[in-house]
């Protein structure tokens, strides 16, 4: 039994995740970008696509993951999302987000490549910052890590520990929707009334990040961090029910990220 599971996960690695472990999988990032695209005004969409060689923003939704080695300066943007213990966003990630938004608000004066890279990065990072597995609590000065998802858990009935971060990276979003492409995600999620969309996109970036923290901290409550020297049996369990709940949470976060991405892009490019 163990061998089978091991083999299956090895296979999964070989076929699906052979490259690098990413925050959200590329399907989720594509879903975020596509939901955003569906909520762009025609003018904003046309303006953005003019900046990125006529491609869709979906095309670049995982660019930051794939091209980080060629563009090391941008690699730093792929990041955990840092909070203090009161749930306020802090530190570099927030700074980077503002940097990108500031750059783009002035996009007509940027060089072609700076304009592109800022768009690629924003499209990706808005997704990352909504991924519950990316939450990290730090001391208010941002220097000391207090809690993140890098700890071992038991996953379903597997007999070997798994990194909780990996569960979020690779299992949660695809567990229940393995057959979906990005258009399927948008179809299933984007149909809420405009009033609900407006509620989701109200406020500013800090509010959205606070909302991510509020919605996502449950992942540390349901599956708490074990003590350092915990035996396998003492590790917290991610069972099927938890996985289902997290799957729903992940879909909600994908929707929110997409709508909020559309909001900032409309604000910048619909003029």
Partner 1 sequence: MKKALLLLMVCLTAGVPKAWAWDSRGHSAIAYIAERHLTPSAKANIAKYIDNKSIVYYASWMDHNRACKGYEMTNDWHVDYWTDKLRHDADGNPMPPVVTREIKRIVEEMKDYKNLSDSTVNVNIKYLTHMVGDMHCPVHVDFPQSRFKVMLNGKKYSFHKLWDCNVVAAKHPGWASISFPDMLDNKSEEEIARIQQGTQDDWYAETVDAARRAKEAIPEDKVIDYRYYNDVIDIADSQILNAGYRLAAVLNAIFSE
Partner 2 sequence: MKKIFFPTIVAALLLVQSASAWNGQVHSGITAIAEANLTPTAKAEIERYLGGRPLTYYASWMDDISVYPEYEACKEWHEIAFNPKYKILAGKRAAKSDDKRISKAKAFDGLKAAVRALENRKSLSDSEVADNIRFLTYILADLHCPGHYLYTDLTPERQNPKFYRDKSRKAQEFRNFWEGAAITQTHNWRANEFVHQLNRKGAEEIEALTSGTMAEWVTANARNYRFVYTSLLNDGNRFSNTKYRLWLNKIYPFAEEQAAIAGYRIAKVLNGLFDGGAEKVAVTGKSKPAKK
The number of angstroms, rounded, from the C-alpha of 41 to the middle of its chain's C-alpha atoms is 23
161 binds partner 1 (CB under 8 A): no
The mark string for 227-256 relative to partner 2 (x by CB under 8 A, - otherwise) is: ------------------------------
215 binds partner 1 (CB under 8 A): no
> Which of 70, 108, 221, 233 lies at the binding interface for partner 2 (CB under 8 A)?
70
Closest to 98 in 3D by CA, of 202, 208, 198, 22: 208
Strand intervals (E) in the chain = 81-83, 135-138, 145-148, 152-155, 162-163, 237-238
Which residue number, 19 or 141, has a Cβ lying nearer to partner 2?
Answer: 19
> Segment 140-199, which members bind partner 2 (CB under 8 A)?
181-183
Q: Six-digit token pair at 218?
A: 């449950």
Neighbouring-strand partners of residue 82: 136
CB 175, min distance to partner 2, A: 16
Which residue number, 68 or 225, has a Cβ lying nearer to partner 2?
Answer: 68
> Which of 8, 114, 146, 199 lies at the binding interface for partner 2 (CB under 8 A)?
8
- Give CA–CA dist 124/227, Å, rounded: 33
- Give CA–CA dist 49/46, Å, rounded: 5
174 binds partner 1 (CB under 8 A): yes
- Give CA–CA dist 60/115, Å, rounded: 13
Q: How far apart are the first and last CA of the chain?
A: 60
Residues of this chain that bind partner 1 (CB under 8 A): 1, 4-5, 8-9, 11-12, 15-17, 25, 27, 156-158, 170-171, 174-181, 183-184, 187-189, 191-193, 196, 240-241, 243-244, 247, 251
């Amino acid at each position: 039994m163990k061998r089978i599971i091991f083999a299956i996960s090895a296979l999964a690695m070989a076929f699906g995740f052979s490259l690098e472990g990413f925050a959200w999988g590329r399907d989720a990032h594509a879903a975020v970008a596509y939901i955003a695209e569906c909520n762009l005004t025609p003018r904003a969409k046309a303006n953005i696509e003019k900046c990125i060689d006529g491609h869709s923003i979906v095309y670049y939704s995982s660019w930051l993951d794939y091209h980080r080695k060629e563009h090391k300066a941008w690699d730093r943007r792929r990041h955990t999302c840092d909070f203090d213990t009161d749930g306020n966003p802090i530190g570099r990630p927030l700074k980077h987000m503002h940097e990108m938004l500031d750059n783009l608000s002035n996009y007509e004066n940027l060089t072609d490549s700076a304009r592109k890279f800022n768009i690629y990065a924003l499209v990706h990072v808005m997704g990352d910052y909504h991924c519950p597995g990316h939450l990290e609590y730090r001391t208010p000065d941002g220097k000391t890590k207090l809690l993140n998802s890098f700890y071992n858990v038991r996953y379903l009935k597997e007999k070997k520990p798994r990194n909780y971060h990996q569960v979020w990276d690779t299992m949660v979003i695809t567990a229940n929707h393995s057959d979906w492409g990005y258009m399927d995600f948008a179809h299933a999620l984007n149909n809420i009334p405009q009033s609900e969309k407006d509620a989701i996109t109200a406020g500013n970036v800090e509010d959205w990040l606070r909302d991510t923290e509020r919605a996502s901290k449950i992942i540390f409550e349901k599956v708490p961090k074990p003590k350092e020297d915990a035996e396998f049996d003492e590790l917290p369990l991610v069972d099927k029910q938890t996985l289902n709940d997290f799957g729903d949470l992940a879909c909600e976060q994908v929707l929110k990220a997409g709508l909020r991405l559309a909001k900032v892009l409309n604000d910048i490019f619909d003029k």
